[in-house]
């Protein structure tokens, strides 16, 4: 449904998007994952045709971007609806931009996103969550085949985020293709396919499960301990340690396979001055994200 | 705490180099411009003349008028042509010396000399009347007495000839007639430049442009759609202000309503096209406002709206002719006060249309449907 071939975009000398290629199948939720300034927004803007790539090609539904404008909708990272206009006026405006005149369908859209009660409310007076919904509704006004969402749930509470994601799955089940950028692991793990980029380059691609393998052969251990900077410093000096990551009372330690577990335990016990237990776990997406980001930056 | 806010504001300003440029450069440029431009002492005011006498004496009058550089004389062929030259704006004053001037003079009959001055600009009119006294200076008239001073019956007239001065077009020298037509232009300029000047920057700043560019709308549909409302607003405003002038200030009716409408439409179009261009070259609404002011202030001062164009030195006058408002002032005064004919205004209409073409063209080149 979406095909990107060797996209390159330079701002001054720095390549913000550096030879990105990927393809997204119909009905898929495709996540573009990466840290801040990785080139996610630039990439999604190129895909939507509001930014020109220096080189490379985008095909949407086997057409050029210009020819497929009616086939896709876009929700920008910032709220881009008219604050002085009401919810209904905004929706009508976007519908008219696509020549859509089916009021019943538009009303149904408002209903589906719980916006009916705010129909006459000025868009600027909506809360953050409802602004997102309005943006989504406006992007759906012309019933597009593809939806581009730039950080759709940034700054949104978990409950609203879940509701939005339930809806993304529903849209996907209806056959719509969703292209989502995010730096939330929780959000990334909900995607069918992921592309991980850093500094404009493709680092890894695949399902959330397979992308965890991008770290290569690693072991992940969990240590039950409070945050201890001395300990983290000691662990990080061991050759082969990829990453330490504190989650509350748990410390994730990612090490290259081949490093002896005993060596790690010994190092920890030297700092802690008592016996410790290391439990082996699966790497979670966040570990992978941080490790890959660090790898790309070093 | 106040100091912290002051510091923060200054830091923010410093990070907007364009705005800094405007804040520093604009006053500097305007200052230099007006220091040179506004002398308020016109020279080389054009005077059309017809001298049917062509004598030594009539030449004395002409050289008297010409001598201090205030008037610049040129010849026309008929007495009617003198008035037409003033109506068209090519001349601001006129002089007619009849065939029998020197004959009457030698017979001590006190001939009349006809002087015309354009009353459209009362301040200029006053200055012209004053300066035309050069024609009746002693230096001129000394050699014009043909009396037998020994003859006890003769009374020496105070002046050997009489100069009649006729004020054309605004005989009562009403200041409102002079100002009001220009005021319409200033108001339209402010409304159109500022409203359209911020229209696109605003959408950019509020991120609505990004959302809009994704839709299938074409470049031209976007620009036309964006500008049409302001064309209407500008036209309504134009006739509203003009209506007030007609109702309350007894402003004269135009020589042609069609031409007046054409002027309104073209002028509004110029201002909106300029506003659009400002909007496209500005990054923030603040910058757009400053650029608009940068155009409005010289327009008011250098267009002939307040000070006669003749009072602006030749070099600076180039700027006057780069300002659309200059042509507007000329046309609207022509239509309302002098009943000028289309032929004589064609070049001004042409100039305004030229501005529309230039700014619309530049906007189309500058406008990209990408961020």
pLDDT of B67-104, one tens digit each? 777 888 888 888 888 888 888 778 888 888 888 887 87
* Confidence class for position A149, pLDDT limits 50, 70, 90: very high
Say if CB B95 and CB B49 are below 8 A apart. Answer: yes
| Range(s) of chain B covered by CATH 3.40.1710.10 | 45-168
So what's the pLDDT on residue B38?
65
* Averaged pLDDT for residues A266-285: 84
Q: What integer pLDDT is reported at residue A45 of this predicted model?
A: 94
pLDDT digits over B235-245, tens only? 999 999 899 88
pLDDT at B158: 66
pLDDT at B40: 62
Token look-up 């943006």 returns A135
Give the rounded percent of residues in chain A with a pLDDT score beyond 90. 50
Spatial distance between the Cα atoms of B327 and B323, rounded to a whole number of angstroms: 8
Q: What is the pLDDT of residue A116?
A: 93
**Region A49-74 average pLDDT:** 92
What local confidence, expressed as pLDDT, does residue A137 receive?
94
- Write down the pLDDT at residue B344: 77
Helices (H), chain A: 40-48, 87-97, 103-112, 128-140, 158-173, 185-188, 208-211, 229-236, 261-272, 285-297
Residue of A76, A83, A98 with shortest CB distance to B210: A76
Task: Name the one residue in this structure whose structure tokens are 């309350």.
Answer: B248
Q: What is the pLDDT of residue B147?
A: 61
Give the residue-averaged pLDDT of B330-350. Answer: 84
pLDDT of residue B151: 61
Whole-angstrom Cα distance, residue A19 to residue A200? 8
Q: Determine the topology of domain B45-168 in CATH.
A: abc type-2 transporter like fold (3.40.1710)
Nearest CA distance, A201 vs chain B (angstrom)? 22
Instruction: Judge whether A66 and A30 are in contact, CB under 8 Å.
Output: no
Q: pLDDT at position B325, please?
A: 94
- Quick one: pLDDT band at residue A230, thresholds 50, 70, 90? confident
State whether A51 and B211 contact (CB < 8 Å). Answer: no
Q: Residue length, chain A?
A: 298
Mean pLDDT of A116-133: 92
Residue A97 has its nearest CB partner, among B206, B215, B371, at: B215
Does the structure show a pLDDT above 70 at B308? yes
Average pLDDT (A233-238) is 86
Task: Check CB contact of A65 with chain B, cutoff 8 Å.
Answer: no
Q: Is A10 on the interface with B (CB under 8 A)?
A: no
Q: Which of A247-261, B127-141, B172-186 has the highest mean pLDDT?
A: A247-261
pTM: 0.77
Please tell me the predicted confidence (pLDDT) of residue A142.
Answer: 93
Of residues A293 and A42, which shows the higher confidence score? A42
How does pLDDT run across A15-37, given as a tens digit for each residue?
A: 889 999 999 999 999 999 988 88
DSSP A147: E
Which of the residue ranges A72-81, B121-130, B264-273 would you say has the lowest mean pLDDT? B121-130
Please state which of the ranges B116-130, B275-289, B313-327 shows the lowest mean pLDDT: B116-130
pLDDT of residue A259: 80
Predicted confidence at residue B153, as pLDDT, reads 60
B336 DSSP 8-state letter: I
Q: Residue B154 — pLDDT band, cuts 50, 70, 90? A: low
User: Touching check for A82 and chain B: CB below 8 Å?
Assistant: yes
| Contact predicate B279/B197, CB 8 Å | yes
What's residue B156's pLDDT?
Answer: 58
Buried b (16+ CB within 10 A) or exposed e, A50-83: bbebeebebbbbeeebeebbbbbbbbbbebbbbe
CA angle, corner A154, sides to A150 and A156, nearest 5? 135
Mean pLDDT of A172-188: 90
Q: How does DSSP assign B303-329, residue by residue?
A: SSSSS-GGGS-HHHHHHHTTSHHHHHH
**Contact call for A50 and B369, based on CB within 8 A:** yes
For B51-67, how does the pLDDT look when each residue is reduced to its tens digit (9 = 90+)?
888 888 778 777 877 87
Which residues in chain B are closer than 8 Å to A152, comparing Cβ atoms?
Answer: none
Q: Which residue has the higher pLDDT, B196 or B106?
A: B196
A51, A69, A83: residue with CB nearest B215: A69
The pLDDT score that the predictor gives to residue A57 is 93
- pLDDT score for A218: 84
More confident residue, B318 or B61: B318
How large a percentage of chain B has pLDDT more than 90?
15
Q: Does A14 touch chain B (CB under 8 A)?
A: no
Domains of chain A, each with CATH number or no CATH: 2-212 (3.40.50.300), 216-297 (3.30.70.100)
Of A45, A69, A138, the CB nearest to B371: A45
Would you say A174 and A127 are in contact if contact means Cβ atoms under 8 Å apart? Answer: no
Of residues A95 and B152, more confidently modeled: A95
Given a cut of 60, is residue B155 above it in pLDDT?
Answer: no
Going by pLDDT thresholds of 50, 70 and 90, the confidence category of residue A260 is confident
- The mean of the pLDDT values for chain B is 83
Residues 135 through 154 of chain A touching chain B, CB cutoff 8 Å: 135, 138
Indicate whether B37 pLDDT > 70.
Answer: no
Q: Label residue A298 by pLDDT band (50, 70, 90).
A: low
Are the Cβ atoms of B211 and A81 closer than 8 angstroms?
Answer: yes
B249 vs A111, which has greater pLDDT?
Answer: A111
Would you state the pLDDT for residue A94?
A: 93
Rg (CA), chain B: 27
Q: What is residue B39's predicted lDDT score, i.e. its pLDDT? A: 62
Q: Mean pLDDT across the stretch B273-298?
A: 89
CB spacing of B210 vs A97 below 8 angstroms: no
What is the reported pLDDT for B157? Answer: 60
Residue B211 to residue A81: CA distance in whole angstroms = 7
pLDDT value for A176: 95
- What was the pLDDT predicted at A60? 93
Q: What is the mean predicted confidence (pLDDT) over A63-75?
A: 92
User: Token pair for residue B41?
Assistant: 């002492």
Query: In sequence order, what are the residues at sequence separation of 6 or more whose Cβ sits closer than 8 angstroms to the Cβ of residue A210?
Result: none
Q: Do A80 and B207 touch (CB under 8 A)?
A: yes
For residues B9 and A298, which has the higher predicted lDDT (pLDDT)? B9
DSSP secondary structure code for residue B48 in this structure = E
Distance from CA of A170 to the nearest CA of B (A): 24
Q: What is the pLDDT of residues B193-203, one digit of tens each?
A: 888 888 888 99
Whether residue B227 is predicted with pLDDT greater than 60 in this model: the reply is yes
């Amino acid at each position: 449904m979406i095909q990107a071939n060797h996209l390159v975009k330079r701002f001054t000398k720095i390549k913000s998007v550096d030879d990105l290629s990927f393809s997204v199948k119909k009905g898929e939720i495709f996540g573009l994952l990466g840290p801040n300034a990785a080139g996610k927004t630039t990439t999604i803007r190129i895909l939507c045709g509001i930014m020109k790539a220096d080189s490379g090609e985008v095909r949407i539904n086997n057409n050029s971007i210009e020819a497929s404008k009616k086939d896709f909708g876009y929700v920008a990272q910032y709220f881009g609806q008219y604050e002085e206009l009401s919810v209904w006026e905004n929706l009508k405006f976007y519908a008219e931009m696509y020549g859509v005149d089916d009021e019943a369908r538009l009303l149904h859209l408002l209903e589906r996103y719980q916006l009916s009660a705010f129909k006459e409310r000025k868009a600027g007076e909506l809360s953050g969550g409802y602004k997102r919904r309005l943006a989504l509704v406006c992007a759906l006004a012309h019933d597009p085949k593809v939806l581009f969402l730039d950080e759709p749930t940034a700054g949104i509470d978990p409950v609203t985020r879940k509701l939005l994601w339930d809806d993304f799955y529903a849209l996907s089940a209806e056959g719509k293709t969703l292209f989502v950028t995010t730096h939330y692991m929780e959000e990334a793990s909900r995607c069918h396919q992921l592309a991980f980029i850093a500094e404009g380059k493709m680092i890894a691609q695949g399902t959330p499960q397979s992308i965890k393998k991008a770290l290569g052969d690693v072991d992940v251990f969990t240590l039950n301990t409070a945050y201890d900077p001395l300990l983290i410093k000691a662990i990080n000096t061991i050759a082969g340690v990829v990453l330490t990551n504190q989650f509350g009372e748990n410390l994730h330690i990612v090490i290259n396979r081949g490093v002896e577990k005993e060596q790690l335990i010994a190092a920890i016990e030297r700092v802690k001055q008592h016996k410790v237990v290391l439990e082996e776990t699966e790497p979670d997406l966040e570990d992978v994200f941080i490790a890959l980001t660090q790898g790309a930056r070093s | 705490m106040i100091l912290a806010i002051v510091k923060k504001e200054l830091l923010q300003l410093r990070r907007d180099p364009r705005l800094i440029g405007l804040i520093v450069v604009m006053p500097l440029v305007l200052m230099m411009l007006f220091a040179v431009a506004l002398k308020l002492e016109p020279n080389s005011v054009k005077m059309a003349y017809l001298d049917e006498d062509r004598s030594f004496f009539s030449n004395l009058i002409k050289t008297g008028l010409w001598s201090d550089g205030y008037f610049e004389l040129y010849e026309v062929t008929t007495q009617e042509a003198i008035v037409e030259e003033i109506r068209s704006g090519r001349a601001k004053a006129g002089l007619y010396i009849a065939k029998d001037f020197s004959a009457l003079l030698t017979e001590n009959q006190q001939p009349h000399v006809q002087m015309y001055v354009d009353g459209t600009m009362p301040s200029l009119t006053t200055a012209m009347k004053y300066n035309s006294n050069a024609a009746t200076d002693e230096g001129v008239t000394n050699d014009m007495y043909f009396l037998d001073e020994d003859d006890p019956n003769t009374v020496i007239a105070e002046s050997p000839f009489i100069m009649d001065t006729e004020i054309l077009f605004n005989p009562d020298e009403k200041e409102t007639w002079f100002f009001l037509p220009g005021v319409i232009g200033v108001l339209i300029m402010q409304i159109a430049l500022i409203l359209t000047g911020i229209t696109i920057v605003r959408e950019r700043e509020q991120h609505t442009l990004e959302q809009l560019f994704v839709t299938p709308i074409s470049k031209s549909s976007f620009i036309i759609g964006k500008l049409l409302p302001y064309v209407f607003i500008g036209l309504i405003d134009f006739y509203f202000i003009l209506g007030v002038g007609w109702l309350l200030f007894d402003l004269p009716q135009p020589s042609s309503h069609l031409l007046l409408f054409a002027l309104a439409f073209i002028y509004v179009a110029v201002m909106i096209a300029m506003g659009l261009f400002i909007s496209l070259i500005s990054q923030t609404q603040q910058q757009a406002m400053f650029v608009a002011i940068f155009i409005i202030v010289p327009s008011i001062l250098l267009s002939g709206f307040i000070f006669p164009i003749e009072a602006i030195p030749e070099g600076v006058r180039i700027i006057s002719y780069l300002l659309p408002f200059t042509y507007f002032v000329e046309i609207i005064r022509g239509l309302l006060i002098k009943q000028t004919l289309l032929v004589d205004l064609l070049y001004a209409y042409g100039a305004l249309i030229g501005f529309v073409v230039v700014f619309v063209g530049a906007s189309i080149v500058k406008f990209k449907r990408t961020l």
